[in-house]
A and B are shown apart, each in its own frame.
Chain A
Amino acid sequence: MFSQSDLSALFLTFKLAAVSTTLLLLFCVPLAWWLANSRWRYKFIVEAMVALPLILPPTVLGFYLLLLLGSNGLLGKLSILLTGQGLAFSFSGLVIGSMIYSFPFVVQPLQNAFSAIGKRPLEVAATLGAGPIDRLVTVILPLARPGLLTAAVLGFAHTLGEFGVVLMIGGNIPGETQVISIAIYDHVESLQYQQAHALSALLLGLSFIMLVVVYGINRQARMRLS
């Protein structure tokens, strides 16, 4: 059913989604905690920036990323200096692009979860002798588990469906930067509807299952609160 290049696109897409989501979670937990608890006056500007990828056309995002990651861009130069390789049209470049593209999908569920927890459980833990790291591991993360799962699933699913940004900064190199959505586009362009169908149906099914998981988690979390 799937050709060799389809399979390698599938593998690449899942690898991209897994790497991006993992890095995003590490990066977004502290940021979301700050957003949930900071009383800084201009916090709303940061919140607006976080939400930008939600509304920007992926091509706009991809265009600026291309400038940034290209051999004349800041990150591109830095990468060449450090590793000898550029970022544009590479897997690392795709990871950076995906992280920005899926950023709000990870930050916002985390921020909501942390806001719902509030500061009280932390204060309680502190009075019981728990230090800062202890509080993070034994109180915040367990209490925010539904939010963490939602953020992970949404970040993963959203990265799976990435198209415009990848096209701009990754191009279409099989095995290196060709993801499912681009493989589907290729198949349609060359009128290979059957292969396009197989990949599309797979993506549709996966996306649906992942959303069912997210809504299931939310339902459980609500039941536990009431």
Chain B
Amino acid sequence: MSLEIRVKVALDSLNLDVDLMLPGTGVSAIFGPSGAGKTSLLRAIAGLDNHENGRIVCNGQTFQDGSVFVPVHRRSIGYVFQQPGLFTHLNVRQNIDYAVNRASNPASDVKELVELLGVQSLIERRCNTLSGGEAQRVAIVRALASGPKLLLMDEPLSSLDQRLKDEFMPYLEKLHSQLSIPIIYVSHSRLEVARISDFLVLLDKGNVLNSGKTAELFTLLDSPLGTDEEAQSLIQASRVEYDEQAHLFRLNSQIGELWVSARSTLDTDNLRIRIFAKDVSVCLCKPEKTSVLNIIPATLSEMHDTSNGQVMLKLDINGHTLLSRITSKSVQELDLKQGMAIFAQVKSVAVIS
């Protein structure tokens, strides 16, 4: 079960040269700045642009290879564009039926999809009366209604304002946990990628900089993600209890017990949390009188000088990674060395999904 993608083409503004193997399940994010070739890559996978010499194989099904080129309408894919692209001459139900009627193997649970994405109240509406978020949800139902073997999403949230993005994300997360088909998700937002992807491809100027599991790539010290201002660690956790008096959740995480304040009630036991490197400081001995709640013993496994007197530390905790960014002056004064046993003080933890 895997996706094999080889695309090599000179476009107007860049040379797209990609040779990738993506997992055949879960969400793979293609992440990079605008102009990196993310959309071009997705269009090549879908067959919307026909580039010679490509090779696209999706879970054993060859879409393109040598002289073989399966046209878009014969690939069972779902494609969600940046703009919803609903047919304005049809209403919401007819848009969804358009996909169902043409599918050789339509989704058996269209009704559930409609409910999952909160579309049931819109079903008889004309498409030009929908808000951006509503239209994009309909577009996703429509793409999935055809029963695709692969779902491609091109920055589906980019046309929405921040409030709508926040409203929309839970729907995407539900999809992620309930769909069995692979999803390729293009984005330039690190938060979106952190929230929903399992596998990550870093794309820049048409080339793959790096690819791997999202949580691992986020904390790699030789990747731009692991060294810049926004560097962060992604940790899996499950909820243990809620302390009503303290208004805090106690979580059992990959890096041990964590106390977290969260606005909404956390009811799932499959939580993803984010800890910014700048919110983690280190001590040589266990701090006792401190306001910081989360103090975790760790081993210093790697150090990387970034710039402006800052150092990124990679801390190993039970085989999982936590990043910490401190000043190089602190590194000197504490005389930090690789392999030292230290304590990480985590000032802020956010549950992101």
Report A's interface with B, CB cutoff 8 A.
Answer: 120-121, 123-131, 134, 138-139, 142-143, 145, 224-225
Contact = CB atoms under 8 A, between A and B. Distances in A.
8 contacts: A123-B81, A124-B85, A125-B73, A128-B103, A128-B146, A129-B146, A131-B71, A142-B89
A127 B87 CA distance: 13
Given A120-B83, A139-B87, A224-B128, A127 B98 contact: no
A150 B99 CA distance: 30
Contacts of A127: 46, 48, 72-73, 77-79, 143
B326 to A, nearest CB: 48
A124 B88 CA distance: 12
B87 A143 contact: yes
A187 B74 CA distance: 64
Nearest to B85: A124
Interface of B: 46, 48, 71-74, 76-79, 81, 83, 85, 87-89, 98-99, 102-104, 128, 142-143, 146
A130 B102 contact: yes
Q: In the A-B complex, list the 7 residue pairs whose CB atoms are closest, starting with the nearest.
A: A129-B102, A127-B79, A126-B72, A142-B89, A124-B85, A128-B99, A126-B73
B88 A143 contact: yes
Contacts of A225: 88, 128
Contacts of A139: 87
A124 B81 contact: yes
Given A120-B81, A126-B48, A131 B87 contact: no
A131 B79 contact: no
Contacts of B104: 129
A128 B98 contact: yes
A126 B87 contact: no
Most chain B C-beta atoms within 10 Å of own C-beta, residue among A123, A124, A129, A130 = A129
Contacts of B103: 128-129
